[in-house]
Structure 1
């Protein structure tokens, strides 16, 4: 009997599809692998954290496929970004102050027991990786405003202005952290063609 196949980007199409015009979407509670950190995303610490996240994600994928439960592509990397304290006016330049939680969406079959097994498997393969910082946790953002940014991360300002203007005009108050969904892989895609969904949880007007 063959293993059922699915693509969660298609199953949750609304969450992984965006255009240049901002719009509202509703993000239900879903399970994510998460890892927290602070500092420059070009640092070795950030790279190690992301590798640990993928190590556990692939261990879960292979376990579910091997058990004949489900086969699926590992989902795109996502990130929540914020500052613990009031940031300086040139916060973008102070990358050492950036707080982040990197995430990968997981299938509903990824329960606590499977997660523990995947962590053990990933730890054996990469004992020097910060595997023990990875956790499995639900995230529910509810109503969100989102938009597609095309280009390098350094040019997000104009896209953010369009999203913020849309939310302000509609009377939607931002109530959560800056959320990015990376549809392109740095180094494999030309900077001007990079695609990133930018999302903010909001309190809808009315």
Structure 2
């Protein structure tokens, strides 16, 4: 049985350090959990991971056992937003951040499989049914780059993306800031973290 690694097969997981890339991201389905607050200190963030991962892995095992289609669970991803974008670039006030953490699932995973995985995960964590949902994310045209290093050092890269590259390309920001964690931040030194930073955009209307 061939195991699919979506990090190698999907173009949307491709990014280079020091360069901004414009790409069109197709609609993709995710297992999602919402929350708010500093991910470094908020118990809600830890609880969200504890709800998300069991469902994601139960879907992977069900796919392998029931459908004969095995895959590597894709990297953790997150949508981040706030009433003021400055909290991401300059102030970095994480207590004001809203977030959705999520894990992409293949198109052949059915809603029935998702619901069965939630029931199984709820046997050990009763909060799972109230936290976890299945949703399609449609981002369309995006700008993304690869950030290497601490999350706290993202501000300068994001400022160049938001204030320099996007306007100079005739684009405007739309949608939510998106991060894809190619490294496991629970086990990787901050200086070695590899994170794709993505911003949905739209063509700027002529003036």
TM-score (norm 1): 0.90
Residues 173 and 203 in structure 1, CA contact (< 8 A), matched pair in contact too = yes
Alpha-carbon displacement from aligned partner over 1:160-200 (angstroms, at most 9, x marks no partner) = 12322111111111111111101111242221111111001
Task: Give, in whole Å, the separation in 2 of the partners of 1:149 and 1:47.
Answer: 23
1:157 maps to 155
Runs in 1 of length 4+ with deviation above 3 angstroms? 85-91
Offset at residue 117 of structure 1 (A):
0.2
1:53 maps to 52
Offset at residue 9 of structure 1 (A):
1.7
The 5 Å alignment of 1:13-162 reads: 14-19=11-16, 20-42=18-40, 43-83=42-82, 85-86=83-84, 91-93=91-93, 95-127=94-126, 129-162=127-160
Offset at residue 153 of structure 1 (A):
0.5
5+ residue gaps, structure 1, are: none
Offset at residue 5 of structure 1 (A):
2.6
Task: Give, in whole Å, the separation in 1 of the partners of 2:154 and 2:13.
Answer: 18
Aligned pairs, number: 200
TM-score (norm 2): 0.89
Residues 88, 148 of structure 1: alpha-carbon distance in 2 compared, 3 angstrom cutoff: closer
- Do residues 10 (structure 1) and 3 (structure 2) align? no
Residues 150 and 193 in structure 1, CA contact (< 8 A), matched pair in contact too = yes
5+ residue gaps, structure 2, are: none
Task: Give, in whole Å, the separation in 2 of the partners of 1:125 and 1:60.
Answer: 16
Alpha-carbon displacement from aligned partner over 1:72-102 (angstroms, at most 9, x marks no partner) = 111101111111x347776413x22211011
